[in-house]
Structure 1
């Protein structure tokens, strides 16, 4: 029994149809299509010529034929098979042989088909050879045959697909990298696409020289390698066909590396931000893992990349020294450690919003906002500005400008700084409020409430409300053609003269171009002459060490309007300043020139400076006591004692000391009038002044000698009884003679002849009366007592009678002959 597929001869059509189970066989009777169905999981086994009646069940190993027609089975035609050498997959340029094999019969004539198209050049050939195969030769190849004894064709063979492709070019893969280091293990792989490592053997070359031929594994691991250009090619195991040679891959072998550790930050890290460390191996290569360690840590941290983000929120405690190394492959090959890198972490800076010209601005002004931060001049930073907590501007510079500010620009502004390349973000600044107001009109005021004294200063203030910064101020007076400019809101005139009086106004301006305010209302400044004080020093300008001295600065207007500044040596040295009283008393002073000036209480304006007054300070004096008389004092006279101070000065009282009395005088002299003998003795004196009294030393003692005053005697010659015409001699007889005295004569208690220098006088003009005299000592004008009176009586006349006797010599004698004339 021969097993064949079911071949059904359709009686109605005369066709033979071979089928597998489960397929339908179509026949046709009387124009109607009839069906015979073969079912089952096995091929139907029949004997040649056996009919299968439809409607009857013929079961052969589970095959059932159903239907209402009869089927007639016939023997099947043979089916060739196509064989390919060397393989169904070939490379362009290779030779391929296809063989059509038929198992039964002989003397076959073969027909070849590619993609169901007959190949005329292969007709009749059992073997079809293609040399130098091309891409156009690819396709599905089939064949069938026929015999001369039987014109019927065999079945067509199953198709064999011939694949034509380029010869593969392997790729050299070197691991861990083409840049390796002495001592590393290196894997060389010759990768042929689609080839796998079971289909090929591999030949290896270094610098075009074989160094490992016919390696059966796709990859090799070697430790003995050198730098060079490596290539490989594959040799197919099945047919020894060889691939193309790979492109060369350069292997560079270097000494064990030391990586370089760097940071993504140029300076210190900011706390709360992140820090990236980079462990860079020079002569870049792949496959590394990186190991990081901080000084005083015991374990390393491992990363798969050369970047190590130390912390997403660093703190100051994360600062320190770091180092790294790299390693790769399972049996880890480590580099050297890098040098240590110091990472500094500082407190995150907090920026400050600065608004210029000021936070108080006026409509249409130009305003600049600056995000000021330490170290802010860095081009890698960007700055974000926020208005009322909503992002307002984003800038690459620290500042931006609003060229003409509006009321709507008012608000609270904040900022912060960030650096995207390093993920560094500062804290956000405190809010600064920008206030926009209408164009202002300043108020002009004076530092003084009243008139200005010449020589003083007056400050005018140009005040803006609300106040703000950045202004320059411009001042003008009607008599001026141009404005005066100041950097501050005040304008000082110093020193003031009368011509500086008048009306003033001001305005302010700031920015570039200048933004001006309105002009202020006018302000009148009155200027008058400054008074000049007078220095008065008491008790005197000549004082003595230890005295209390009173300085008075006398200014018209009294002491209620002024305070006083005192100077010694013409303003070189301040003695006492800003005294509230017109007078000062002190015992702390020195010789020198003293001046003063007044400072008006109401506005601190100063007067002119006084003329200097010289104060002379001497040591405590000892007065000199002297008498007005050189000798003894005659009773009844006066004597003056003088208590003299050197140098002289005023304001003293003098005190005179005698064991029995202590008189006091206002002047430096003390006169004892009508001296008596009891007034004689030792005298001392001292002087005192001030309150409390400042006393000088005592003078040396002075002896005052008092003696009785002599009483002269009047002698009249020739007699107290005289006749008219007689010559009379008056003599005032005082002990001591006439050289010590002068004489005063009195008749009837009236001065007759005062201060005669001789003791006696001869007079011819006289009258009766009581004559007295007294002496006046020439040395000191002391006078004697007055003599007792002597009465002179004058009567008649006297005639001179001359008698001459001549005896050789003539002698004449004249005799007054007095007689009374009676009326």
Structure 2
């Protein structure tokens, strides 16, 4: 933007121009024209030009709008898997009145510039690797201008195309002349299962099998010189993505060279909790390391001979078979393994008491509860039976009303005698066999003198009763 200080014709001779903004002198501006480059809101204010003694004010308001919007960085390929091509795009929008403005773009990863300012708003990475992981952003600026804007960061996570390979050898030890097979294993990404991989093998850094589709390396009739540290490489076809396994030491030995024995264990043919008389039992001696093995079994520290009647040695004596368990077979079994070397290793197992029959599995608690319930049941039955017997024993005999006796009256006195005799069948017996008699006398107070016989129903309520017990 350019401002011009106009003066009256003929008044320009012998004078000098000066420019002011908000009454502050703008240093260095002494021409008739004053230009503002890249006008911004900060340039707003009241401008005045002076020529000689004349002053010509002008008020300038600068209303700024964005030349372009804050840029955005985008990844058009998500997820990004190792070996994929990646393109990042930096997008922004120019002001409608400045569509012909030339913009420049730069890209950064983790704060480091990976692409200088260019007219292209794209950043391309061919065959991405794990090293391309990071936080990306882009910056946009106008050519020959200080106007710059930066996008927010975008995290790019590079996923493994395949896992780090492992090299395996199924042989625990290799003797001279053995066939050896090494296998290189890895796992492909679930979204790239159709990817074609290539495998190569090395011994002591020297390539022994170049890249090919097979993940195995075979050595027929191994020789001592084949000993060494082996590893394998895996890569994607037509790609720079390559990964290497850890090293595997292969030590090839002579036939007469023995490997020290270690890690000896004894296993039972089948899991069991009880050992029953008459059943068979198989004990196997397992050795994790060692060659040219010699097995020796001991039962309760006594050597088991191959001609034993109750034991059988099988599979080069690595298996101890008992065809029929007996009580004397209980105890401690040891498998002593050795070879030509002075060291040896021992495995131990304990066989508990040999039982006559297999337990039903009834626990002592359940047995006690069962016996208790049986006792309670029997007690209830006995109480029921005993109650009936008591009731029948103590059942009252039916009583017959006593016969009324006559009572002769003499001088207003009624005399009656009751004889007590032993009843046959009674469980109560008197101390003596004598019979007892009771004499009753009733004296009436009515003053009646009648010779007629009286009965208890005719006696007066006011009569006095006397008794006398006489023993005969």
TM-score using structure 2 length? 0.35
Greater strand proportion:
1
TM-score using structure 1 length? 0.22
Larger Rg, first or second structure (1 or 2): 1
| Greater RCO, CA 8 A, separation 6+ | 2
Greater helix proportion:
2
